[in-house]
Amino acid sequence: MTSSRKQPLARCILAGLMLLLLPATGRAMAEPVFSFAATPGKLPKTVLPNHYALDLTPDLDKLSLSGSESVDIEVMEPTEHLVLNAVDMTIEAAAVDSEAASAITSDTAAQTVTFAFPHPIAAGRHQLRISFTGRINRFGRGLFAVDYPTQEGRKRMISSHLEPSDARRIFPSWDEPAFKASIALTVTVPQAFLAVSNMPVSGEEPTGDGKKRVAFQPTPRMSTYLFVLAAGDLERATADASGVTVGVVAARGKSQQGRYALDTAVDLLRYYNDYFGIAYPLPKLDLIAVPGGFGGAMENWGGITFFESRLLFDPATSASDARRGIFNIIAHEMAHQWFGDLVTMAWWDNIWLNEGFASWMQAKAAEALHPDWQTWLNSDGFRQAAMGEDARRTTHPIQHPIANESEAMTAFDSITYAKGQAIIRMVENYLGEDLFRAGIRAYMKQHAYSNTTTADLWGALQAASGKPVAAVASGFTEQGGVPLVIAQTSCVGDTQRITLRQERFTIHDPAPQPQRWQVPVVRGGGGGADATVLLDGAAEIAAGRCGDPVKLNPDDVGYYRVQYDAAMLAALSRSIDRLTPADRANLLGDTWALVEAGRTAPAAFFDLVERVTGDDNRAVVDQIIRPLTRIDHLQWGRPEREAFRAYGRAVLRSVFDRIGWDAAPSEPADRALLRTRLIGVLGDFGDDAIVAEAKLRFAKFLGDPTSLPTALRATVTSLAGRYADRATYDTLLALGRGTTNTDERVRYYMAAASARDPAFANETLAIALTDELPTTLVGGLISTVASQGEHRDLAWNFVKANFAALDAKLGPSFKDNFPASLLTNFTDAAHAQELASFAPAQATSGGRIITARAYERIMTAADFSAQQLPAVNEWVKRRMAAR
Ligand SMILES: [Zn+2]
């Protein structure tokens, strides 16, 4: 790291269009390019797997798994021991060539198994044969079972989820991403099942006992975490995309709901083949809908798994805009087929290469194929959340050491995804689209079927562009934190000059480690075209005539905050109507962040809010809603809360009254999305008319489902649940229990879980202990109860009282994540202390990291409440008195 080095402040003066870069300061790439020998990990690098021939027989009744494998290995230097990964399984026998292992030792903590042999295994190629038994679980890691409702009653299927390190729950393996090998799977399943894996089926034969053996073609070399197996009473719909068979696999009777996904995948395959310059390398690509087990999606090579409602679209019940979410998640997972699957990060310290890039590519693809969605503009909340995390003391660099599996789980956070996405976007903007893509194509070509570090990516982009990519980008990936650009204006004659300097932007961190970035600061408009200065210290730029409004970070592309001086903020505020929606949203977002950081008074933000109340842009309104709901949450139990909610209702009502409950013919889709968002928030803020109308519409819907447009169903159902009486609560649960549609099932149960009445909250929590819902939804059910301010204590006491039962049910990630996440619903120091002393949450190093982050979040909220809430309440009091 070179961030805190001392160096005289460089002064850089730019005028008009001129792009003047500071001389590269020679920030060395601290991280070396990929080398297998230097890659972190636990397994010895002296034995390499080349190919697994894997034979699995899952028993869906006993939830057990028996298997055998024959692994072609290459021994680099003679050894008497082989060490590989295995967890929660029993090894029955192991042999190399014709010699059986003399001892088999499992290390539960390290998740390894060691085979000792009576004689050294000579250097060269050998065959390792292992037979083993393992388990099928219900908590969504390794091979898991899901029971789901159908018209013919409950059915059971199996699926897998292996990232980061759960292949070792299915078969003994070199389960670290740098150990790439091909895999040829054979699996024995009931005759009526459809079995799906990474590659196409190469043959099937009945085994005579109502079962069949299904063999799959061998995969190319790949990391074990990308292996997939799903099997059940499933069906597949397919389409051809440039010679690749694309399929949607779903529970029998549902594949037609995969039509939109299938069309999308065909479009995306064409787009990505072109973008990456390498055609999709496998003969087929399945999108597999799984009705439980996990909440999102997983990019297994050639067989992507999705939580069912993230993939399927039912025109009778799904809001038409659900297509955006389906497109985005498919675009993300398909980008991984190249970025992650074909070229894989060497170790989990670089997981951002996978996730930041795929998150960026999904938005890039959406902008290319559906420009009317304005994906960058509308996904700004995602980045704002990451910038909030990144401003805290417990943030971490995008690239950071990962010591073990529990820590690898913590890396899948907003820094990895959303900051990673934002940095890639900023780098693309800095290089230009064409040079950036040329670098990506060269990177793909050079590293296909292999591994990389971030340095390999910067090297390829630098070679393609000739710009100092590593020096700029590594400042954002190798150190945590958000740059703050402080802008001050002065007048020389009639010419406006702006001085820029940088600091580290922090929230609730009084003594941060000082840091320094090379920030590509862009100055927008101001009478001329945009200009970029690479800010490394301080700079001065010319910016039109005195008093002209100057907006930095136009279109919100850069990963930095801006603090304007009073004159600049006043000029921007006066001309706010002339800024683009992205700039209005960015100005609101930065101003609110400065309030959270204690750098400016709440009035600065609320004054801006007053200036944009005529704004109906969804992204802009969203930047108002986020602080309002945040403050409302902090006001729980305070006497000033009601006055604040009245203010919030007044602000949002003025927007909603222009939009109304019913869609105008051919209105823009974003208007429909803004409508549902406003109804939801106004309902939560206790707007009586909204709540009454929602109840009325829900009652009508029960009699005639077509009376309620699909776009309004989620919001209206949610409000009906929040303000439910006994009859409505029972109705919601009956609807949830009666449907076979996963999207509706989630909607009804979660609406019931948000009920205000404590009696209903208790009944909902009791469901969490039954087998009524798949375990993935159990966590969501409890979290929904806990997110209602009045039930925080109830939910937390329930979790403590049933900790052992929930821990057993929800699996090994529960302890590390769930208590910490649940306690962030509290905003007081006492609960932060309670979390800090709650031992089960800190049993692993990953758990300690997550606990420390949650503790910081709670304390940040507590201190904000003490320091800034009084000023917020004072401002609201004056404002409401003036109305
Ligand atoms: Zn991803």
Instruction: Give residue-wise pLDDT tens across range 111-166.
Output: 999 999 999 999 999 999 999 999 999 999 999 999 999 999 999 999 999 999 99
Query: What percent of the chain lies above the pLDDT cut of 70?
Result: 96
Q: How far is CA 184 from CA 51, 198, 230, 461, in A?
A: 8, 10, 15, 36
SS3 content of the chain, % helix, strand, coil (to 5): 45, 25, 30
Work out the average pLDDT over 80-94. 97
Q: Strand 482-492 to strand 561-564: parallel, antiparallel, or no bridges (unpaired)?
A: parallel
At a CB cut-off of 8 Å and minimum separation 6, what does 78 contact?
120, 121, 122, 123
790 in catalytic set: no
At a CB cut-off of 8 Å and minimum separation 6, what does 194 contact?
231, 232, 233, 234, 235, 236, 249
Compute, in angstroms, the gap from residue 354 CA to the centroid of ligand 1.
6
Work out the average pLDDT over 506-524. 91
Q: 313 is written with which tokens?
A: 């679209």
- pLDDT number for residue 18: 28
6-15, 34-43, 288-297 — which is least confidently predicted? Answer: 6-15
Q: What is the pLDDT of residues 312-324, one digit of tens each?
A: 999 999 998 999 9
Are residues 260 and 221 in contact, defined by beta-carbon separation less than 8 angstroms?
A: no
The residues facing 115 across adjacent strands are 82, 104
Residue 809 burial by Cβ neighbours in a 10 Å radius (0-12, 13-18, 19+): middle
Rounded Cα gap, residues 188 and 66, in angstroms = 10
Compute, in angstroms, the gap from residue 358 CA to the centroid of ligand 1.
6
Torsion sign over Cα 719, 721, 723, 728: positive
pLDDT category at 22 given cuts 50, 70, 90 is very low
Q: Which amino acid is at 25?
A: T
Q: At what angle do helices 710-722 and 726-738 cross, to 10 degrees?
A: 130
Compute, in angstroms, the gap from residue 261 CA to the centroid of ligand 1.
17
Are residues 542 and 49 in contact, defined by beta-carbon separation less than 8 angstroms?
A: no
Are residues 514 and 504 in contact, defined by beta-carbon separation less than 8 angstroms?
A: yes
Q: 122 is written with which tokens?
A: 């000579």
Q: What is the pLDDT of residues 229-253, one digit of tens each?
A: 999 999 999 999 989 999 999 999 9
- Containing 520, the helix (H) or strand (E) segment is strand 519-524
Going by C-alpha positions, the residue among 306, 274, 266 that lies closest to residue 289 is: 306
Compute, in angstroms, the gap from residue 32 CA to the centroid of ligand 1.
24
Catalytically annotated residue among 299, 308, 333, 407 = 333
Measured at the CA of 282, the angle between CA 278 and CA 285, to 5 degrees, comes to 110
Q: At what angle do helices 322-338 and 259-276 cross, to 10 degrees?
A: 40
Compute, in angstroms, the gap from residue 847 CA to the centroid of ligand 1.
22
Rounded Cα gap, residues 312 and 322, in angstroms = 9
pLDDT category at 462 given cuts 50, 70, 90 is very high
Q: What is the pLDDT of residues 595-638, one digit of tens each?
A: 999 999 999 999 999 998 788 999 999 999 999 999 999 999 99
Q: 810 is written with which tokens?
A: 């929800």
- In 448-500, alpha helices (H): 454-465, 469-477
Residue 629: CB atoms within 10 A of its CB come to: 15
Compute, in angstroms, the gap from residue 69 CA to the centroid of ligand 1.
29
Compute, in angstroms, the gap from residue 409 CA to the centroid of ligand 1.
13
- pLDDT number for residue 203: 98
| SS3 assignment, position 665 | coil
Give me the chain's average pLDDT, please: 93
Rounded Cα gap, residues 872 and 604, in angstroms = 11
- pLDDT number for residue 7: 28
Compute, in angstroms, the gap from residue 326 CA to the centroid of ligand 1.
14
The residue with tokens 């507590």 is 862
pTM of the model: 0.93
Compute, in angstroms, the gap from residue 351 CA to the centroid of ligand 1.
9
Q: How far is CA 475 from CA 188, 430, 434, 483, 542, in A?
A: 51, 14, 23, 10, 26
